[in-house]
Amino acid sequence: MDNQTPSFITRIVLALSVFFRILFDPRFALGVLGLKEGKGPAAVASESTDSKADTSAPPPPPRLKEAGPDAALQLLGLLQQEGRFIDFIEEDVVSYADADIGAAARVVHEGCRKAMREHLTIAEVRSDAEGSRVTLAKGFDATAIRLTGNVVGEPPFTGVVTHKGWRATEVRLPKLSVNHDVTILAPAEVEL
């Protein structure tokens, strides 16, 4: 760097940028303060690395992972194969009598239940009876328990179990060939 004095405009731009960086970057402000107090750049750098161990920093945001569609599409295909699930959902049932819908639902229920039990093991999230009062201590698993109603304050929370919840404890989906197209949930059928 040459020893040429920066112009007045350059100094204004520099002063403004340093001013805003001091306001919004605490580590930079600490470094400027150290330089102002006559500490050398090495001492300021050492202090700023020590200040990185600040425990008041907010926790990092949760890491997100993208779920691939293959397993979901495969399971949907199995529900269609065993219980005609998609056919039932896609059918416009408005014009059917309740008894007809009930009869169809019984067939779909039986087939889908068979497919689920063959390929999944599921268990209740909570063993408490629905309608029973429970207390959730601080640190409860918020991914397994969804709070509803007037949620205010910090745990412990006391409330009523309105649904036990379900969790998959085992998944046994069949292996697929590399060329299998999971987007074909049910092939078209042509009778000859």
Helix or strand holding residue 160 (H, E): strand 157-160
Find out whether 51 and 27 touch, Cβ atoms under 8 Å: yes
pLDDT band for 22, please (50, 70, 90 cuts): confident
Q: Which residues contact 185 (CB under 8 A, 6 or more apart)?
A: 73, 76, 77, 80, 86
pLDDT at 103: 92
Encode pLDDT of 134-190 as tens digits.
999 999 999 999 999 988 899 999 999 999 999 999 999 999 888 989 999 999 999
Residue 38 vs residue 153, higher pLDDT: 153
pLDDT band for 24, please (50, 70, 90 cuts): confident
DSSP summary character for residue 7: P
Encode pLDDT of 106-122 as tens digits.
999 999 999 999 999 99
Strand positions, DSSP E, 24-132: 120-124
pLDDT at 181: 92
